[in-house]
Structure 1
């Protein structure tokens, strides 16, 4: 499970620094008709080396506070490992 603080309309797609127990994730898409949500799923899938269908939404589809479940990621960016350390 990954807790995400989403930021639509960012300057670029980026996985930012942790904020508390959440990771900041910015995407360039606008928050209209699920565009930012879909864009975030595709961006995270590419970063983690999984298919978009491997990322499930636990809650927060239409909220900036989201929780994602990622099935068998091929690789984890270093910022995800920093979040795991914060949770321990």
Structure 2
């Protein structure tokens, strides 16, 4: 699932900002494209697309800085939901 999640996350971000060249480890906040509204869109996209709920203690900027970190978040939440 992680490769699929990674591709879907990357596609979502690039779809919103088509002129950026994004690597999976790039900090999207440092690029200056992300604002608080887009951060909430990311949370909603992840929850809807991957069928997970992101608990309040996981709503940290560090979990959303890069495609890699969001992929890890999806994996953790998917594992937690499966238990």
Question: Which TM bucket (shorter chain)?
Answer: 0.3 to 0.5
TM-score (norm 2): 0.36
More helix per residue: 1 or 2?
A: 2
